[in-house]
Amino acid sequence: MVKQILGKGLQSLIPKKESKITTLIKGQSKSINWLKSRKESIFNVEVDKIRPNPNQPRKDLNEEGLIELANSIRQHGVLQPLIVTKIETPTDRGQQVEYELIAGERRWRASQKAGLPHVPVIIRDSAAQEKLEIALVENIQRENLSAIESAMAYKQLQNDFSLKHREIAQKVGKSRTAITNIIRLLTLPNEAQRAISNGKISEGHGRAILMANPKAQRTLFQIVLKNGLSVRQTEDKARVLASLDKPKSAGPKNPLFKQIEKDLGEVLGRRVSILKRGDRNFINIEFASQKELDKLVVNLSKN
């Protein structure tokens, strides 16, 4: 067997690399088979009658990638149908029919560049929430959204439709922790978010920067850019900055504070602690449930 392979020359031992076009065709073919299994009808619709989805998670479309896709479409056509919903508007002459994209904006824009008069579509009758959910699931999994674009899409589901992180996770096939972590990226300084979107830093860098105090995050981000820190180095730097923000121990607790803690604890029936942080003092009262908090409020209101 080895002799047979060697007899064919060195090239027989080196796997051939597929072209981008071949990879694209294979991927699109799988999608077509998937559509056939769902028994959904495909229609040809005028490109000019389709409009973009305002809820599209992807905000930035790479121009170079669109040109490459347009060249492929000129040669092979649109192999994977767009998904749209029909929009009917009453006019003096009857009904004006348009189509709003649910998924496939890159293919639609590339088809425009390629000069196609029609594109294949699947028409779905979708309510607003279903449209956004379909756009999220299909675009996030197929279009390689940036971490910030994904976070904005998840945040929109949370705000517009009151979905919990667990519910979002179920819809997009991720863990609840993953959804929570990616949404937290939206609390980063704006310049750090833009850097993640532009690929200057990674999502891992963003999570590491979040380990620092909010006031120190912008400074840490600038250090990361200037010095080209790795994710691990960024985490180490964030821990150092966080340790600097921790209040220093004020030494042994004042005996008077200890007595007041004891007396208040007996009156309120809760554990009480008095803390000193620099020039400021705090009283902490522990409670285990909303019911206990309600009783505590009543007791404090009487005194």
- Is 50 exceeded by the pLDDT of residue 266? yes
Using alpha carbons only, how large is the chain's radius of gyration in Å? 29
Question: Cα–Cα–Cα angle for 94, 99, 105, nearest 5°?
Answer: 160
Question: Per residue in 16-48, pLDDT tens?
Answer: 444 444 444 344 444 444 444 455 688 888 888
Helix, strand or coil, per DSSP, at residue 5? helix
Give the mean pLDDT of the chain.
Answer: 76
Rounded CA gap, 239 and 243, in Å? 6
> Identity (one letter) of the amino acid at 247?
P
* Listed range (37-41, 166-170, 220-224) with the worst mean pLDDT: 37-41
For CA atoms 152, 154, 158, 161, the dihedral sign is positive
Strand pairing report for 118-123 and 82-91: parallel
Q: Between 160 and 169, where is the model more confident? A: 169
Please, are residues 151 and 182 in contact by the beta-carbon 8 Å criterion?
yes
* Amino acid 296: pLDDT: 75
Least Cα distance to 53 among 115, 118, 99, 90 occurs for 99
Active-site choice (40, 46, 68, 105): 105
* Amino acid 15: pLDDT: 44
Rounded CA gap, 201 and 195, in Å? 6
Please, are residues 99 and 58 in contact by the beta-carbon 8 Å criterion?
no
- Is 70 exceeded by the pLDDT of residue 101? yes
* Amino acid 139: pLDDT: 62
Tell whether domain 19-143 is in CATH 3.40.50.10680. Answer: no
The whole-model pTM stands at: 0.47
Please, are residues 188 and 197 in contact by the beta-carbon 8 Å criterion?
no
Rounded CA gap, 64 and 83, in Å? 23
Rounded CA gap, 243 and 208, in Å? 15
Q: State yes or no: is 105 an active-site residue.
A: yes
* Listed range (113-127, 182-196, 197-211, 246-260) with the worst mean pLDDT: 246-260
The secondary structure of residue 277, as a DSSP letter, is E
Residue in the block written with tokens 């200037």: 226
- Is 90 exceeded by the pLDDT of residue 230? yes
* Amino acid 225: pLDDT: 93
Rounded CA gap, 247 and 260, in Å? 23
Structural domain spans, the chain: 19-143, 146-187, 201-245, 255-302
Q: How far is CA 28 from CA 13, 65, 142, 244, in A?
A: 29, 17, 11, 53
* Amino acid 60: pLDDT: 64
* Amino acid 10: pLDDT: 38
Rounded CA gap, 46 and 218, in Å? 48
